[in-house]
Structure 1
Amino acid sequence: MPLFAGLDWGGAGHAVCVVDETGRTVGRIEAGHDAAGLATLLARLKRLASPADLPIAIERPSGLIVDVLVEAGHPVIPIHPNVLKACRPRYRAAGGKSDPGDAYMLADILRTDGHRFRPLALLSDEIRALRALVRGRDDLVAQRVALANQLRALLEGFWPGAAAIFAAIDSPIALAFIRRYPTPDSAARLGEKRLASFMAQNAYCGRRSAAELLARLRAAPAGLAGEAEADAKGEIVRALAGLLERLGAEIARLSSRIEHAVAELPDGRIVMSFPRAGRICAAGILAELGDVRERFPTEEQLAAEAGVCPVTHASGKSRGVVFRWACNKNLRAAVTCFADNSRHASAWAARIYDSARARGCKHAHAVRILARAWLRILWRAWQDRAKYDPAKHLAAANITT
């Protein structure tokens, strides 16, 4: 008799429920999240059935527990939390929730609807490493944006000129200026010659002269903070500027490693062959796309995963098309970034974008339309393990000729 298992994972322990084909519970396991607990879990599961014959449903598609189960030979089937939430009223009317109850629900969903879900296919170690680097870099970039906004808001409250003198508050020259002149009093004697010397020392590469920058600094409104308050806020400004400088250096280091890693992968060179894909953007696409072709047997599935095709709601005479919220947001960000860049190097891409804008689409919508068009070609090249060839892209070739 076939068996089905559900696992509700947790930070300290995991609840597992095993049911047979009739839905009867044949085993419940509580395992700690440590070496001994995971070993006990695998041993008890093995007593019920061989690993290959015992599929396990789980909400989270990654992590140590998933790696352990796959390594042991269990088919692991990820089930989206929204599916579990939608199925919850089937099992209880009061809306109660518990870890053993969720484990039973996962096992029973796998029993009744397992044919609708695809077992997890592990990516290669190189792709998993690339994904870790790309997602880690994205998190650091988000932190940099948050810190830069915090620094700008702080400066605009007591030293607006320091926030306005350079275009980007988190640029190296702006951070160096803020650390050197964190308060209005520290820049009271700043003149054109001194500012020019500062710009030369910090290798300023902008197009503004010292006179223009000084005029911009003096045109900003004066802060009203007292001397003690300004000094206190100046210390915070120095701290934030130091954090942003170190964060920028770490992002640059990770970017360099990502660029090298994606160029070494065969699939990376495929993605990089597309117009204006670059290396960082190509790495973001490949990190989410992976190297398991069976994950996306059709280009429609890839487009849905990337969130660049809308969702249709139709009932009777009513029909609506809405934005797709449920998707891989990391993949959508990478694909749309590439699509937006590509229109500056491909006449075909520019025509699709301009046509969408002419129909009244906003910029973000037009970029998603272009990304949907590019995914058809990207999916085909990825499946064929072939680089992008403009000569084979007939629609683009006809425009250029």
Structure 2
Amino acid sequence: MKFKQHDAQNQRIERITSHHLVIGIDIAKETQIARAVTYRGIELGRACSFKNDVLCFQKLLSWIKSIQKQHNKTGVIIGMEPTGHYWLNLACWLLEKHLEVVVVNPYQVKNNKENRDNSPTKNDTKDALVIADMVKNGYYSPLRLPTGNYQALRVLMSDREFVIKQFITIQNQIHRWLDIWFPEYHRVFKDWSCKTSLVTLRLFPLPSELKILSPEEIYDKWRPHMKRRASISFARALVEQAQQSIAQDVAPEQVKRSLLFLLDQYETLSTHLAQLEQEAISLLKDIPQAQRLLTIPGIGKITVAGILAETGDLGTYRHGRQVLRLAGLHLGEESSGKHKGQVRITKRGRPGLRKYLYLAVLHLVVNNEEFRALHHHYTLTRKMKKIHSIIKLCGKLARILVGLVHQEYDYTPEKVITAIPAA
């Protein structure tokens, strides 16, 4: 299928013939609704209601086959909304039965709900018919579910994102604790997460405890917990800041317990994060195309893992623009008559892929000579804003990623800078 959007749209419409039965399924947590139409939008049979279990999935399959037999339809295409996670089990079950499954954009379903009856009414039965109409009109996307190592990579990177969010929350809570109960602490330790600081926070976190200690006593108490201890000057600075502290001296036991809980959570999440990243990097060794992508100077292993976790097998994409659309980094505008709208990225896609592509380009502009030269050309010669240049380079990177996989060659710098005209 061609990568240009209007050509792909026409091909999606043309491939649905009079022999096809088009099924639209409205997804829910417990009860789904399915409706069937012809390639012209004529509804066949009655709506089928079924639940999320294998017996009801068999009921759906029997319903589809009965309509096929009754109306002499040889092909079936099933469309559904990717609603949360409720659709995944049904989609995988249908794929195992060798049925074609596609997905439609929930936002488009909402916008198309008045096509048939010119009514704002919205319910599950109507939505199933709207989805079927959208599929027969070609308003769908092929389903790309990751399998094998790609699925394992997606699970790992999803867990990593969850841990990072919790990790940041705990860090902010520790910052808050220090600002309230020992605001002068950062004058001694610029980085509170260093080894010496973490040991200090566990041993004597409150200024009231440090006031009664000498620098030598603090230094001696560090000894069992660290092979390389901070200098005596750090201990002396701690005592000085504790004596000048403006923090309140109330409920010391409860305050210390609060900090110890936060530190335990911080260390646990640090360990989990390191384990997830190590496992993801190890998994990349079993993915051949990952090794090819790592030949790009300036792109890291975690970044490659994140991109492959979001896209799956890059060999299934025919052009980098498909990856760009999946990330929601393709451009859109709202113009009418004399009004010229501003061109923006649509953000209709996977936010995780959008983040990894954007961060990858930021690193490449700093560490990759070819991307740095392109960025300078766009900003200095073509007078583009820096953010516009970065977004344009995201498209360049997407095309490079797909090209490396399809053409099976390593990164070639000469091919990257062909966009810069010779002086």
TM-score range relative to shorter protein: 0.7 to 0.9
* Selected match of 2:104 from 67, 73, 79: 79
Letter paired with 1:328: R
State the alpha-carbon separation in 1 of the partners of residues 223 and 414 from structure 2.
48
Residue of structure 1 equivalent to 2:355: 333
Question: Residue deviations 1:66-124, cap 9 Å, x none?
Answer: 1111111221111111111111232455533322222222122223x1x3433314433
Q: Is the 8 A contact 1:182 1:238 kept in 2?
A: no
| Within-5 A mapping of 1:60-71 | 60=82, 63-71=88-96
1:43 shift after superposition = 3.2
Distance 2:419 2:216 in 1: 54
Instruction: Trace 1:33-44 onto structure 2 (pairs within 5 A).
Output: 33-44=52-63
1:259–1:279 CA contact under 8 A, matched in 2: yes
The Cα of 1:319 is off from its aligned counterpart by: 4.5
Distance (Å, rounded) in 2 between the aligned partners of 1:73 and 1:249: 42
How many positions carry a matched residue from both structures? 393
CA distance in 2, matches of 1:173, 1:367: 40
- The correspondence of residues 311-330 of structure 1 with structure 2, limited to 5 A, is 311-317=332-338, 318-330=340-352
Output aligned runs, 1:193-342, within 5 Å: 193-194=216-217, 196=219, 211=233, 215=237, 219=241, 222-228=245-251, 230-291=252-313, 293-294=315-316, 296-317=317-338, 318-342=340-364
The gaps in structure 2 that reach 5 residues or longer are 1-18
Residues 1:23 and 1:396: Cα distance change in structure 2 (over 3 Å): closer
Task: Tell me, in whole angstroms, the C-alpha distance in 2 between the residues paired with 1:154 and 1:196.
Answer: 24
SS at the partner of 2:285? helix
Distance change in 2, residues 1:389/1:298 (3 Å): same
1:97 aligned residue: 122
- Computing the radius of gyration from Cα coordinates, the structure with the larger value is 2
For normalisation by structure 2, the TM-score amounts to 0.80
Matched, 1:378 2:394: no
1:210–1:372 distance in 2 versus 1, CA, 3 Å: farther
| CA deviations over 1:331-362 (Å, ceiling 9, x no partner) | 12111222222233322222333455554735
Alpha-carbon deviations, 1:163-210, whole Å to 9, x = none? 66544555555444333334333333455445555666555989x855
1:101/1:338 CA distance change after superposition, 3 Å? same
Is the contact between residue 165 and residue 214 of structure 1 (CA under 8 Å) also seen in structure 2?
no
Q: Contact conserved, 2:379 with 2:389, CA < 8 A, in 1?
A: yes
Alignment partner of 1:27: what SS?
strand
User: Secondary structure of 1:38's partner?
Assistant: helix
Q: Take 1:43 and 1:167, find their aligned partners in 2: how far apart are those partners?
A: 67
In the alignment, does 2:406 pair up with 1:361?
no
Q: 1:214 to 1:27 in 2, by over 3 A?
A: farther
Equivalent in the alignment of 1:4: 22
For 1:222 and 1:93, the matched residues in 2 are separated by: 69
* Residues 174, 366 of structure 1: alpha-carbon distance in 2 compared, 3 angstrom cutoff: farther
Question: Which segment is superposed worse, 79-88 or 322-331?
Answer: 322-331
Cα distance change of structure 1 residues 384 and 164 upon mapping to structure 2, 3 Å threshold: farther
Map 1:104-143 onto structure 2 (within 5 A).
104-111=129-136, 113=137, 115-143=138-166
Cα distance in structure 2, aligned partners of 1:100 and 1:233: 56
Distance 1:237 1:101 in 2: 54
Report the CA distance shift for 1:254/1:197 in structure 2 as closer, same or farther (over 3 A).
farther
- Aligned partners of 1:8 and 1:58 also within 8 Å: yes
Q: Distance in 1 between matches of 2:46 and 2:59?
A: 14
The 1:384/1:130 distance shift into structure 2, 3 A limit, reads same
What are the superposed Cα offsets for residues 281-320 of structure 1, whole Å, 9 maximum, x if unpaired? 11111222321534x3222232233344432344344242
Contact 1:336 1:371 in 2 (8 A): yes
Give 3-state SS (helix, strand or coil) of 1:343's partner. Answer: helix
Q: 1:22 to 1:92 in 2, by over 3 A?
A: closer
Deviates more, 1:252-261 or 1:281-290: 281-290
Q: For 1:384 and 1:390, locate their aligned partners in 2 and report how far apart those are by CA, in whole Å.
A: 15
Q: Which residue type is aligned with residue 344 of structure 2?
A: V
Question: Is the deviation greater in 163-172 or in 100-109?
Answer: 163-172
TM-score, normalised with respect to structure 1: 0.84
Matched-pair contact (CA < 8 Å) for 2:34–2:49: yes
Contact persistence 1:19–1:108 (CA under 8 A)? yes
Paired residue type of 2:122: K
Q: 1:187 to 1:376 in 2, by over 3 A?
A: same
Whole-angstrom distance in 2 between the partners of 1:209 and 1:357: 48
SS at match of 2:47: strand
Indicate conservation of the 8 Å contact 1:262/1:283, yes or no.
yes
Instruction: Report the equivalent of 1:48.
Output: 67
SS at match of 2:23: strand
